[in-house]
Structure 1
């Protein structure tokens, strides 16, 4: 929802000054610079579909960090895809978790294939930071984490793994404590559930919905860890992120 006019003026005033940072002494290890993180790559439907190698290549050309979504396949590979099924993007009723990586090679996303995470890592090759959002449902969790750990184990570029599910960050803290781990937080999450999720996850960064920016709990959290904010889609969103967060996860007119 657009901010009130007075709030917008204050955000724009902040944007004309130096990029605002929190009072944390430690820099953000995933800092993407002034270009922020391109949400699902730099996409534009249908010419450049989201979460495809074409979208990621466009983000690389801009020099933006890349945010993308990960899902587990039936043969325990990691596909770069947002939805649980193929209806919206591929016109298929199949659930991704029921498909093997070979099955996915037959999917068509506006003329582009569904990439596997290995292809994404090969393409990026450490040039920009990555925000990898693990999409997990129920019993998929442990298989997803094992597959993801194997897939990125030898990657030498900067990356952070994040999820709405706090168990992902907790598992990473126990098993890969040196990796950057994030909790994705919706504005509508009730305060007690938010507190419990943060306590369980113990993340090194948070990915917060744009609608929550400017609220006291976000400012307090930002003193402890970097805040990346999704999804910035308008100029007002971009001004708000600039004032109250460390990096934008953006698309369309929400570019920093």
Structure 2
């Protein structure tokens, strides 16, 4: 299986978590304003992709739209027109499509794209969102990498976009939200056993869990190690003992 390497551009500057957002300043997460702020500061961009009911790729983190738009309802139940009619709290931007973000960024900074699990249990995927993302990326020029917490999603990306670097977003699977995932599946995921099967070249691991032996083993075998989410200079210094770069929010790296 082809295993394209992560561009060195991903290690030249810290990566903003959902853009360089600051809601108090009118810059919501995963907005064009947040991406512009990241580019202005010379940072990379991490962003999330969800699907509409017709599998249009939208740049949005949550499954329900309440926190970010003020109106409840799953984004997966909206068609494209309905999703774009929702505006983001903070600056009234519409939820951007992935295609709009690619056109806006235009290769100026690295893009680390997380494909959100669409089925709720980190199980097999239908591949609609992954293929939609791959289609939109055709012809894009600039450093970009794809990742997901769900290895099944990464496996689809290996087929749909074999030339684009891909990785697995990883963690200890002990958080409150993670308890919604079946225990058996969490026990599988924490082993990061699918790394070679899906042709990954990196992981983006939970910063507080970087001392996990499996992370060290992968790094020794050549995996590139990113991490999430850093919120202070002290956390960054600690994470960089293992990780080659950080995804950050809520402070300005030195």
**Residue 32 of structure 1 corresponds to which residue in structure 2?**
10
Q: Tell me, what secondary structure is at the counterpart of 1:249?
A: strand
2:37 match: 58
Query: Which stretch shows the higher mean deviation, 185-194 or 106-115?
Result: 185-194
User: Where does residue 173 of structure 2 map in the other structure?
Assistant: 188
User: Are the equivalent residues in 2 in contact too, given 1:238–1:254 (CA < 8 A)?
Assistant: no
Q: Give structure 1 stretches of 5+ with no counterpart.
A: 1-25
Task: Show the counterpart of 2:240.
Answer: 242
- Residue 207 of structure 1 and its aligned partner are, at CA, apart by 0.6
Alignment of 1:36-47 (within 5 A): 36-46=14-24, 47=26
Which stretches of structure 1, 4 residues or longer, exceed 6 Å deviation after superposition?
Answer: none
Q: Does 1:119 align with 2:100?
A: yes
The change in CA–CA distance for 1:32 and 1:38 in structure 2 (over 3 A counts) is same
Distance 2:16 2:192 in 1: 28
Which of the two has higher C-alpha Rg?
1
SS at match of 1:198: coil
Task: Pick one of 178, 198, 210 that aligns with 2:195.
Answer: 198
- Tell me, in whole angstroms, the C-alpha distance in 1 between the residues paired with 2:97 and 2:159: 26
Tell me how far 1:70 sits from its aligned partner. 0.2
**Length-normalised TM-score, structure 1:** 0.83
Structure 1 position 254, deviation (Å): 6.4
Counterpart for residue 211 of structure 1? 208
TM-score (normalised: structure 2): 0.83
Alpha carbons of 1:38 and 1:63: their partners in 2 closer, same or farther (altered >3 Å)?
same
**C-alpha deviations, 1:46-99, integer Å up to 9, x for none?**
421000000000000011110000001123211100000111111212210111
Say which is worse superposed, 197-206 or 129-138, in terms of deviation: 197-206
The CA RMSD measured in Å over matched residues stands at 2.1
Gaps of 5+ in 2: 175-185
The CA deviation string for residues 3-22 of structure 1, in whole angstroms up to 9 with x for no partner, is: xxxxxxxxxxxxxxxxxxxx
